[in-house]
A and B are shown apart, each in its own frame.
Chain A
Amino acid sequence: MKLRILIADDHEVVRRGLCALLQAHEGWEICAEAKDGREAIEKAGQLKPDIVILDVGMPNLNGLAATRQLTQHDPHCKVIVLTITDSDQVIREALDAGARGFVLKSDAARDLVSAVEALQRNRMFFTPRVNDMVLAGFLDKGHNGSDSEPPRLPKLTAREREVIQLLAEGKSSKEVACVLNLSTKTAETHRSNIMRKLGFHSIRDLVVYAVKNNIIQVQVPTQLQTPGSAA
């Protein structure tokens, strides 16, 4: 029986590349594609793929939030997170969300097949660069006897994280309600709760929070980018 894979990335050119890469492997098939986290969850619910590959930076619902929802719904769901950044925070969030694989987009052509093979054998896979970082963090923790985690952020529900992403993408409470199939009043309540929990007074604060915490990703003008920092 073929291994069925669902791919989610907002750029079709990347999906085409991922498909070409994975379909070349005998015994694997792409059972569905999705262009954001919400569509990925919907299709995963219908098609029950063996492995889900999720880009982190997607509109409407990002890959980390989608991972969290998929693994909460089915703890055996095997998710590989695909990202352009190997920041500590994104790695920690991906692991916390229940991802079993972590591959940098820049290394995908080399590592993605290995990652899928690892998950197929019920193992985890981290891009070597990330593996080193995880190990270094573990050793550092052992030497210092203290955890190097950043201060804990206020506890937000999965729904609140979804609302933050949509608000930070510029949607109104009414539009948020429409996307999440809620009443406008409920969406506004979520918004108020989020602002209170985070101690924010403006949407601007919320956008900054969403960017800093990788809930949304923004395009940085070329002149400000460091080499290799973006696709």
Chain B
Amino acid sequence: MTVRILVVDDHPVVRHGLRTLLGGNPNWEIVDEAADGIEAVAKAANLKPDVVVLDITMPNMSGLEACRLIRKKAPASEILIVTQHDSPHMMREAMQAGARGYVVKSNASRDLLAAVEAVSRHLPFTALNVQSAESV
């Protein structure tokens, strides 16, 4: 069955990159994109995607706030955070906000596909760099 994905990042070039990486799996479909948290919440509520790939640092509404709201408005959607923050503290906050997975942008090419695969099956996926992970 096709996994429907909503991609959220404020930088169009990053959205392009995420699309390219995710396009490698024929069973996944990018249903839409959003450029900030507010747009993400509205589109998630409307489209009910299986997975929301969500950046944290965005204008208007941060990914963490969007994460909390998406949990309420589209409870069946799983949220995968893809962020520049390689930080155990931020990862903990994201998981507390309701994310199912957490991937650091610099490792996206290594972790993104496995993470989407996991969260689409409602399994957790978290990966920091070794140095950061050691301090969890």
Contacts and interface: CB of A to CB of B under 8 A. Distances in A.
B39 to A, nearest CB: 14
Contacts of A230: 57, 84
Contacts of A229: 57
Given A13-B14, A105-B11, A227 B59 contact: yes
B19 interface: yes
B64 A109 contact: no
Contacts of A221: 90
Nearest to B112: A13
Interface residues of A, number: 27
Classify chain B: how many residues form its interface, as a range.
20 to 34
Contact of A219 (B9, B85, B108): B85
B18 interface: yes
Contacts of A13: 14, 17-18, 21, 82, 105, 108-109, 112
A219 B84 contact: yes
Nearest to B35: A106
Nearest to B62: A222
A228 B10 contact: yes
Contacts of B105: 11, 13, 231
B115 interface: no
A106 B11 contact: yes
Interface string A12-23: 111111111100
A59 to B, nearest CB: 10
A160 interface: no
A222 B56 contact: yes
16 contacts: A11-B105, A13-B112, A14-B13, A14-B17, A16-B21, A17-B12, A17-B14, A17-B15, A20-B19, A21-B16, A109-B12, A221-B90, A222-B57, A222-B62, A231-B10, A231-B55
A227 B60 contact: yes
